[in-house]
Amino acid sequence: MDLLRSVKDRTDDTEFYTPLPAGYTPGSTRYVAIFGTVMSGLGKGIFSSSLAKLLKDKGLRVSPVKLEGYLNIDSGTLNPFRHGEVFVLDDGMETDMDLGTYERMLDQDLTRANFTTSGQIYSSVLEKERKGDYLGRDVQMIPHVTGEVKYRLRDLAVKTQADVVFVEVGGTVGDIENAFYIEALRELSYEEGEGSVIFVALTYVLSPPALGEQKSKAAQLGIKRLMEYGIHPHIIACRAENPVVEKVRQKMSVYSNVPVKRVFSMHDLPSIYLLPDAMREAGLDSEVVQLLNLGGRVNSAADARAAVEWSRFTSKITSAAQTVNIGITGKYTALRDSYASIIKALEHAGASNDAHVNVKWIDTTELTDADVLKAMGDVGGIIVPGGFGSRGTAGKIACIKYARLNKVPYLGLCFGFQMAVIEYARNVCGLAGADTTEISPDCKHPVIDILPEQKQIEGLGGNMRLGGQDIDITPGTLASELFGGAGRIRMRFRHRYEVDPRYIDQLQKAGLVFSGRHPVHPIMQVLELPRSVHPYFIGCQSHPELTSRPLRPQPMFVGLVKASLAKKG
């Protein structure tokens, strides 16, 4: 503590460089840092968010942060095939999909302060160097880059008044780009003092089919690599297909000096939402509270209430009374992470309707009108999700036409909203050649186009409409019914193109209803068909899946599942 307080008064006469944000008290905030070993993609975000949820249930204020090793400033330009979906926060920050896991599990909105990349860190350090903030010192990885990481973690603690900050380091400990993050967290533990920082190692226990038993050697070597950085884990989470046997847990304990009770079997479950209960049953939340000396801040009554409420939700997942098939069309169907938030929104909506939702993936790349019946014959409802580019659009329009004519419940998201407008313009309004200028810049009827004010913004991603926006809902419409009669709602957006105002009147006269609009500008946000024409046909320019939560399912998805069950019944 004395070291941190004195650092602010020193410049080049010391090797310590630890700038502190205003209002930060060393030792008042606790930190839980999660690292991955063996391989990436094992579920660090799921583990971290589940553990954070358990502490939040106890009345503690928690704030997560994802530390990404790539040099991109944000996730906006990343290909979904390489990195999964781009999750957009309310403040417009384009982030890694793990931020969606945190928002859903914790039921709280996050900000750009909860997401950090190496590109952000290096940019900030270089900007400070140009401004002379380092007082003539040579700028180095240690202490300046690691100091920037620590500053951001502490600044997050101040901004969110967190009792516990959960720090997830992307990738694995073997990735060279993560070395300075790991070093920064080692320094943070040293500076904050004993009982202020705990480390979690998430590893992988192999089960080679030819051997017929679980093998822990790769997991042991991964932990060894972490320890070589000076990080000694307090908890080990062992990912595996089946429950990790006691013998393997004992091996991991002996090898790492972590008590067996803190070697947790994180095996495959039917739903990630069952993980918090598994952690609670294993006593992992109690171990963390004890390690961080947080017992005095725990609200046991709140914890008990939260456990009961969560159990009611998970029981609907494991014992749903009905089943329904929902088709999702798109070009990224080979990688399910591209649609992670949609899948979770359907899971939430299914539980709300006491139903299990089976997702049927419909690749529209080669789909034609002649094939659509075969592709959609067994679905109760259909979603056309967001996307960019021309590939697969003809197939999407064919699916929308089939859903409209055959009264199949339909939900269009962002690009799916635009495709519904195009389909209606072509096949109902008689506007041959109607299209979007994104795909066909010289089309005869550009019913979807970039509005003039957006064209003035340059750069890839620069003219995107990003983040939370208000929507005015028309009374007496399906949208109004879904949102409980609310006159104004808020959703998150990530798009460039809009319905061209010149065609709005013609589309409306032909029967298309724009039931959600921008409060000021002539921007159409929600479309639908009257109930007298179609049981459930609705689209939105936004991404409603981004704000769906387990205990607060998104109304448009709830309505889709309900309508699909009715069609099936």
Is 414 part of the annotated catalytic residue set? yes
Cα 374 to Cα 158, 409, 562: the distances in Å are 56, 17, 23
Closest residue by Cα to residue 249 from 231, 271, 267, 232: 267
Q: Give how far the C-alpha of residue 550 lies from the chain's centroid of Cα atoms, to the nearest Å.
A: 13
What CA–CA distance (Å, rounded) separates 556 from 137? 56
Name, in order, each residue with C-beta under 8 angstroms of 178's C-beta and a sequence gap of 6 or more: 67, 69, 169, 170, 171, 172
Name, in order, each residue with C-beta under 8 angstroms of 66's C-beta and a sequence gap of 6 or more: 45, 95, 96, 98, 99, 102, 114, 115, 116, 168, 170
Strands 115-117 and 197-204: unpaired
Q: Which residues of the chain have pLDDT under 70?
A: 1-15, 81, 331-335, 388-391, 451-463, 569
Q: Say if residues 260 and 236 touch (Cβ distance below 8 Å).
A: no
Cis peptide before 143 (omega within 30 of 0): yes
Judged by DSSP in three states, 409 sits in coil
Question: Per the structure block, which two tokens stand in for 28?
Answer: 């008042």
What is the domain partition of the chain in residue ranges? 30-312, 324-568
The CB density around residue 163, as the number of other CB atoms within 10 Å, is: 21
Question: What burial class does residue 374 get, using C-beta atoms within 10 Å of its C-beta: 0-12 exposed, 13-18 middle, 19+ buried?
Answer: exposed
Domains 30-312 and 324-568 share a fold: yes
Is 238 part of the annotated catalytic residue set? no
What CA–CA distance (Å, rounded) separates 372 from 401? 10
**Catalytic-role residue among 144, 445, 534, 543:** 543
Q: Give how far the C-alpha of residue 397 lies from the chain's centroid of Cα atoms, to the nearest Å.
A: 28
CA contacts within 13 A on the Cβ side of 257: 6
What is the secondary structure of 191-212 as a DSSP string?
HH-TTSEEEEEEEE-B--TTTT
Q: Say if residues 256 and 213 touch (Cβ distance below 8 Å).
A: no
pLDDT at 2: 52
Judged by DSSP in three states, 367 sits in coil
**Catalytic-role residue among 399, 414, 429, 540:** 414
What CA–CA distance (Å, rounded) separates 133 from 76? 30
What CA–CA distance (Å, rounded) separates 513 from 538? 9
Closest residue by Cα to residue 65 from 103, 120, 115: 115
Task: Supply the Cα-derived Rg of the chain in whole angstroms.
Answer: 25
Question: Per the structure block, which two tokens stand in for 76?
Answer: 């906006």
Q: Say if residues 488 and 470 touch (Cβ distance below 8 Å).
A: yes
Question: What burial class does residue 202 get, using C-beta atoms within 10 Å of its C-beta: 0-12 exposed, 13-18 middle, 19+ buried?
Answer: buried
pLDDT at 332: 57
The CB density around residue 321, as the number of other CB atoms within 10 Å, is: 9
What CA–CA distance (Å, rounded) separates 310 from 285? 15
Q: Say if residues 229 and 183 touch (Cβ distance below 8 Å).
A: yes
Entry pTM = 0.93
* CATH number belonging to the domain at 324-568, selected among 3.40.50.880, 3.30.70.920, 2.170.130.30, 1.20.1050.10: 3.40.50.880
Give residue for tokens 């009264």.
Answer: 407
May I ask the CATH architecture of the domain 30-312?
3-Layer(aba) Sandwich (3.40)
pLDDT at 461: 42
Name, in order, each residue with C-beta under 8 angstroms of 304's C-beta and a sequence gap of 6 or more: none
User: What secondary structure letter does DSSP report for 529?
Assistant: -
Sheet-wide strand order for 465-473? 355-363, 322-330, 381-384, 410-413, 537-540, 524-528, 513-517, 465-473, 488-495
Residues in the chain: 569
Closest residue by Cα to residue 250 from 207, 288, 271, 219: 219
Q: Give how far the C-alpha of residue 381 lies from the chain's centroid of Cα atoms, to the nearest Å.
A: 24
**Catalytic-role residue among 85, 168, 287, 545:** 545
- Beta bridge partners, 524, equal 517
Is 545 part of the annotated catalytic residue set? yes
